[in-house]
Structure 1
Amino acid sequence: MSDECAPSPYDALLLLSYGGPEGPDDVVPFLENATRGRGIPRERLKEVGQHYFLFGGVSPINEQNRTLMDALRKDFADHGLNLPVHWGNRNWAPYLTDTLREMAREGHRRIAVLVTSAYASYSGCRQYREDLAGALSTLEAEGFPALRVDKLRHYFNHPGFVRPMIDGVLKSLGELPAEVRAGAHLAFTTHSIPLTAADTSGPVEGHGDGGAYLRQHLEVAGLIADAVREETGVEHPWRLVYQSRSGAPHIPWLEPDICDHLEELKGSGAPAAVMVPIGFVSDHMEVLYDLDTEAVAKAAELGLPVRRSATVGADPRFAAAVRELVLERAAAERGARVPRCALGSLGPSHDLCPIGCCPGRSPRPAAAGTGERPS
């Protein structure tokens, strides 16, 4: 194997995700894990859990992660990359600590980590790094050999992430009635987060005005809209909108909500819309419920034709992008300089999150960052 295709110093890849219930009995315990420390009553969690109960109490995210693991293993094998792929979650089985414990038992010591969140934010990056640090601390207390984990860079603008979404929009536009297709608006959606969390996302020097979270999403939306225009010859109006708000009403969050935006589109005379969930790697519960259920119902009520384009999921181009991310980081750790794929004006993201990047309300130790990477 050439140096360019060598995974060294890494001996495994960890797919790190959010997790989700696998049946009705799992729903409330899963939500208790996901909201631990926020003081949310169990009865309120049961109300929130109704979204899951509509789908049999099963979140699709776990099966989607299994499918992504299969795609990664196939891509690695097809390209001669001998790198085992493991999977762990923050909030449900297989739990991160259990997966790292098993990896340690198998002899893995240097692990590359792919987080199923493409953008900078506390909940999409820093919190995963905090959980990594907590898991490593637990294993150290149990007497396991020290593990080192390196989180792969943000991949929001990698061609292997963006191109499948472009194709998804083109497909969805083609599914709209011909008479409304040319005038369809594109509604790029992502998870709403508190304004304070958005403003402090990314490195300190870029804080304010939505921070890296807003800039990165606007970049991806613009890339997709430009590509659609180039390939169809039609300029589709677009806007970045939000979904899945879960916070207290008195705390300002990013707006507008997708359902409010659909009402605005109908009121302004837009003939149709395509909802493009750029903030999500796969079709998990927040896509299936907030878009495919709530937003589609709102559009039907309004008489507005809509389609929802596909997320990246286990697209082979995304699997190839992950391989490229592993190899570029491995080369960098060996001291080599390699080209880094990135579309748009923001360029490739940092390897190590700097101090002050995406801070939480209560500081906790975090792995895989500047000044925070001994493990």
Structure 2
Amino acid sequence: MSFDALLWLSFGGPEGPDDVMPFLENVTRGRGVPRERLESVAEHYQHFGGVSPINELNRRGIKAVEAELDAQRIQLPVYFGNRNWQPYAEDAVAAMAADGVRRAMVFPTSAYGGYSSCRQYDEDITRAREAVPGAPELVKLRHFFDHPLFVESFADAVVAARARLGVAGEQARLVFTAHSIPVSADAAAGPPEEGGGRYSRQVREAARLVAERVGASEHDVVWQSRSGPPSVPWLEPDIVDHIEALHADGVTAVVVCPIGFVSDHIEVIWDLDNEAAERAAELGMGFARAATPNDDPRYARLVVELAREHLSDAPVRRLSDASSGGCTVNGAPCAPGCCEPPRRRA
């Protein structure tokens, strides 16, 4: 099957103080989020000069993928587009059309299923194609939560985090964390015949694979970064609440692995490196956070390997038989009813 390009499709993030509120308004448009809540979140970004690391990390990842494509003698230009900030997906698709691209693969920077992590990228693709006359055909690549290179990268990061704790690292509790979502949204994640829960099941499977690789006899899966009203149930427990519960049980040190994230953006460096780490310190607990893939060379190899599944029928490498999915053409969902958007409260 012939392809002319690869589109790296991500979430986006502000790159200066004046970008923060417009970016957050893009993220929450149509959700009825109060202004005071946006201002509270904006303070997290302003703590870092109004700059999210995500765009720079994406650019570095793209350069690594370009180098890997060259090393494998694959001629495939890489374009960069975002859902919520410049460069927007529409701009990337317009650039592809202007360059004569007719058919391209899309790599979304999320390893998992679910609405925000999968189906919403389908919507991004559809919206971008509708906005660009002569837009190329776009084929979204699959989920990669159980890809060997993804698991290896996190496993090595866990080992390194343990080492930073010294002797305490040998007994530290291994805690995996991912972005929380409403319980109702998780129930809708995956085709109806699966009974929902694809997102949380995939996160738990990725955590199990990493824990097994590092020889952890036990581990926990918790959640972070919830943003909805208290009246709406979200996946729990929260990472900070869990640290407090572990302390009450006599645990003296934790290694936190952000298995749900592929880069160190604001929700990693604020929610974990600040809030979670500070609470652990207040309780006198050792704390080390494992790195995300960021620009790990294996991440670039993973992206190219996913592309080669379409370019040259390369074998699909997975470490589990957990329900997967992800591949779509021109934004069509994986299956009817799969990962329906959550209902918004008026």
Q: Give the TM-score, by structure 1 length.
A: 0.87
Q: 1:119 aligns with which of 95, 105, 112?
A: 112
Structure 1 residues 300, 270: CA separation in 2 closer, same or farther (over 3 Å shift)? Answer: same
Residue pair 1:157, 1:348 contacting (<8 A) in 2 also: no
Distance 2:51 2:326 in 1: 35
Residue pair 1:96, 1:132 contacting (<8 A) in 2 also: yes
**Residue 368 (structure 1) aligns with:** none
By how many angstroms is 1:356 displaced? 1.2
Residue pair 2:9, 2:108 contacting (<8 A) in 1 also: yes
Task: Indicate yes or no: 2:180 matched with 1:199.
Answer: no
CA offsets, 1:134-181, max 9 Å, x none? 111111xxxx22421110000111111110100000111111131x22
Task: Indicate yes or no: 2:228 matched with 1:252.
Answer: no
**Residue 27 (structure 1) aligns with:** 20
Identity among equivalent pairs (%): 50
By how many angstroms is 1:215 displaced? 1.1
**Residue 186 (structure 1) aligns with:** 174
Equivalenced residue count is 339
SS of 1:306's equivalent?
strand
CA offsets, 1:57-92, max 9 Å, x none? 000001000000110000000110100001000000
SS of 2:246's equivalent?
helix
Q: 2:321 aligns with which of 312, 329, 345?
A: 345
- Correspondence list, 1:1-375, <5 A: 8-139=1-132, 144-178=133-167, 180-208=168-196, 211-229=197-215, 235-331=216-312, 338-346=314-322, 349=325, 351-352=327-328, 353-361=334-342
Distance 1:39 1:347 in 2: 33
Of 189-198 and 37-46, deviating more is 37-46
SS of 2:84's equivalent?
coil
CA offsets, 1:333-372, max 9 Å, x none? xxxxx42100123276453411211011469xxxxxxxxx
Of 128-137 and 20-29, deviating more is 128-137
Distance 1:183 1:298 in 2: 19
CA offsets, 1:103-156, max 9 Å, x none? 1001111110000111001001111111211111111xxxx2242111000011
By how many angstroms is 1:243 displaced? 0.3
Distance 2:265 2:243 in 1: 22
Distance 1:315 1:184 in 2: 25
- For structure 1, the 5+ residue unaligned runs are 1-7, 230-234, 333-337, 364-375
Structure 1 residues 162, 10: CA separation in 2 closer, same or farther (over 3 Å shift)? Answer: same
Divergent runs of 4+, >4 A: none
Distance 2:106 2:301 in 1: 15
Q: Give the TM-score, by structure 2 length.
A: 0.95
By how many angstroms is 1:47 displaced? 2.2
Distance 1:354 1:25 in 2: 40
SS of 1:49's equivalent?
helix
Distance 1:266 1:43 in 2: 33
Structure 1 residues 347, 199: CA separation in 2 closer, same or farther (over 3 Å shift)? Answer: closer
**Residue 232 (structure 1) aligns with:** none
**Residue 372 (structure 1) aligns with:** none
Distance 1:191 1:276 in 2: 12
Rg comparison, structure with higher value = 1
Distance 2:92 2:240 in 1: 39
